[in-house]
Structure 1
Amino acid sequence: MEFLLGGVAAVGAGFCTNPLDVIKTRLQLQGELQARGMYTVHYKGFFHAFYAVAKADGVLALQKGLVPALWYQLCLNGVRLGTYDFAEKRGWTTNSAGQTSTPKCIVVGALAGCAGTLTGSPFYLVKTHLQSQAADSIAVGYQHAHTGCTSALWKIYQEHGILGLWRGAFGAMPRASIGSASQLLSFSLCKDYVGKYETFAKRPLLNTFVSSMVGGIVVTLCMTPFDVVMTRLYNQGTDVQGRGLLYQGVVDCFIKMWKTEGIHGFFKGFIPNYIRLGPHTVLCFVFWDSLRELRSKFMSRQHMEDGNVETVQT
């Protein structure tokens, strides 16, 4: 049940924030392996990117890749949040005094993030391909000729086999580890801290909101460079053997980006990334906590009803 609740919560958040993910992907691919000032700037900033996409491809293009994006959220966070909740309930994230343990949270969060990312990797691959598709006038990055989620998965499988669907998955592990660990750790620590105050103790939803906002800031700062690299690895074209045309792996991508784009390249799309991750983190954790609370109330009510039935029978 924990896995299902985590997945459903993330799907609700993903639907609301997918347009921001589209903009983030375009900005991260713009000027790939080119020095600043040496490429055509199709997207002049966060707000202009919205305008450019809507003008060239229509307003609905802002929801490109929505289907695989929601499947990815279901797989990623169903496993990630479900695993973390499972560990949390068994005391694997706390010390002997029952307080949140930073080292344990980091380990559990990182492992949970890796497991979730690996599970949903095929959908992230297709999501990135579809989100980067654009009219020639604003196209950035490699353009994949997919017509939809199912056809894209089938085409990749036919051309590169089952392993082709997980291309780039291992490159996503650093992002998953750092992102998940920093998000879940900051959320847990902040929730424990503000929960000591009466205002937040009486308003658990407000506690969740504030804690998730802090988590959004922390995860964006820690994860953006790895997020850019992940986008590049997933979106690059491949040869007939399924090898990347631009990058051989995470390290190679970091080196090539540093040489051509400098430190600026690793923070492309930072603003939409935060604007996406902030609300996404808030919505995800608010939905998650709300669903868990509803489940607890339902279970308590069911337990009381079962107890009343037993009393009457006695």
Structure 2
Amino acid sequence: MEVVEEIEYEGLSSNAPLGVSMLAGALAGITEHAVMFPVDVIKTRMQVLAASPAAVYTGIGNAFTRISAAEGAAALWRGVSSVIVGAGPAHAVHFGTYEAVKELAGGNRIGNQWIATSLAGASATIASDALMNPFDVIKQRMQVHESQFRSMWTCARTVYATEGVGAFYISYPTTLTMTVPFTAVQFTVYEQIKRAMNPSGEYAPGTHVIAGGLAGGVAAGVTTPLDVAKTLLQTRGTSHDSEIRQARGMLDAFRIIWQRDGLRGFSRGLSPRVVTFMPSNALCWLSYEFFKVLIRDA
């Protein structure tokens, strides 16, 4: 009788070569963003300070029905090409940096290494966001109500010609202000839940799904106000409001949101953001661990 050797998750995670982590991260990132993209479209539209009543949605179901009826189901996938092109390299850098910094900081040692894990997560975010930010700007310009863009390349050329290269990075400080704590919270919660659920260190896909989903939901909820500000900055060029078009950074975005919508404005898109990140984060971690095992065993 053949004895099947049990695969230990912790052994795979801490000893996987950097190239394996990067390739697994790239595949996981593409999978995550592509699957949950329609909900991300709804989130973006709910966050935009729209002047037209036709662009104001009361919830996920309302937005899904109205967008599909008025613009067709294809509108829910507009901009996905930008995410696919950018997410692969960005997630490769993200997970590669995470694994490298975690190892250097001692995060793979036995015991609760939350400081090393948080440092690794924050470092991964700084590196990957520098690469992903322009693609995110293009994506959101294509997602907004009545967007004129149907091609990411046309969108990129138009934004560059009319607003300059700065438009692709106007939201980068806000993005980092949001995603550094997001990633630190996400990775810390993920590692804590994973260790609690899987103290033996065995490879357990269910653990990755539950830990990843809960970590994503917590991190998404905490950072939603910053995401609203980021959306305002990234879509400012599509607005007919001169004050929004002239916003120069995070403080301007906060001021405009507060003046127009008060405290409630900072929770715009909370439900689709959480709904997006819980399953997408679960899928991302599941895909990441799966592809890492698959690539190593190939």
Kindly state the Cα deviation for residue 113 of structure 1 after the two structures are TM-superposed. Answer: 0.7
Query: What is the TM-score with the length of structure 1 in the denominator?
Result: 0.80
Matches of 2:249 and 2:229, distance apart in 1: 9
Among residues 123, 135, 138, which one is paired with 1:123 in the alignment? 135
Matches of 1:93 and 1:263, distance apart in 2: 41
Structure 1 residues 25, 41: closer, same or farther in 2, change over 3 A?
closer
Residue of structure 2 in register with 1:146 after alignment: 149
Counterparts of 1:62-81 in structure 2, within 5 Å, are: 62-81=76-95
Among residues 58, 71, 77, which one is paired with 1:44 in the alignment? 58
SS of the equivalent of 1:232 reads: helix
Structure 1 residues 41, 125: closer, same or farther in 2, change over 3 A?
closer
What amino acid does structure 2 have at the position aligned with 1:61? A
Gapped regions of structure 2 (runs ≥ 5): 1-18
Kindly state the Cα deviation for residue 30 of structure 1 after the two structures are TM-superposed. Answer: 4.3
Kindly state the Cα deviation for residue 40 of structure 1 after the two structures are TM-superposed. Answer: 6.9
Matches of 1:249 and 1:167, distance apart in 2: 7
Among residues 101, 105, 116, which one is paired with 1:92 in the alignment? 105
Q: Is the 8 A contact 1:30 1:41 kept in 2?
A: no
Counterparts of 1:230-269 in structure 2, within 5 Å, are: 230-237=230-237, 245-269=245-269
Structure 1 residues 166, 210: closer, same or farther in 2, change over 3 A?
same
Residue of structure 2 in register with 1:174 after alignment: 177
Kindly state the Cα deviation for residue 212 of structure 1 after the two structures are TM-superposed. Answer: 0.6
Matches of 2:171 and 2:158, distance apart in 1: 17
What do you get for the CA RMSD once the two structures are aligned?
2.4
Percent of pairs with identical residues: 22
Kindly state the Cα deviation for residue 78 of structure 1 after the two structures are TM-superposed. Answer: 1.8
Structure 1 residues 159, 258: closer, same or farther in 2, change over 3 A?
closer
Residue of structure 2 in register with 1:209 after alignment: 209
Matches of 1:132 and 1:93, distance apart in 2: 43
Deviations 1:225-254 (A, max 9, x none): 111111111000289xxx962422112211
Kindly state the Cα deviation for residue 162 of structure 1 after the two structures are TM-superposed. Answer: 3.6
Kindly state the Cα deviation for residue 67 of structure 1 after the two structures are TM-superposed. Answer: 0.4
Kindly state the Cα deviation for residue 202 of structure 1 after the two structures are TM-superposed. Answer: 4.9
Matches of 2:261 and 2:167, distance apart in 1: 28
Structure 1 residues 100, 84: closer, same or farther in 2, change over 3 A?
farther
Among residues 153, 157, 160, which one is paired with 2:160 in the alignment? 157
Deviations 1:48-82 (A, max 9, x none): 10001001100111111110122232233221122
Deviations 1:9-62 (A, max 9, x none): 110111110000000001111457xxxxx9677312110100010011001111
SS of the equivalent of 1:146 reads: coil
Among residues 114, 127, 142, which one is paired with 1:102 in the alignment? 114
Among residues 164, 170, 184, which one is paired with 2:187 in the alignment? 184
Residue of structure 2 in register with 1:21 after alignment: 40
Gapped regions of structure 1 (runs ≥ 5): 33-37, 135-142, 299-314
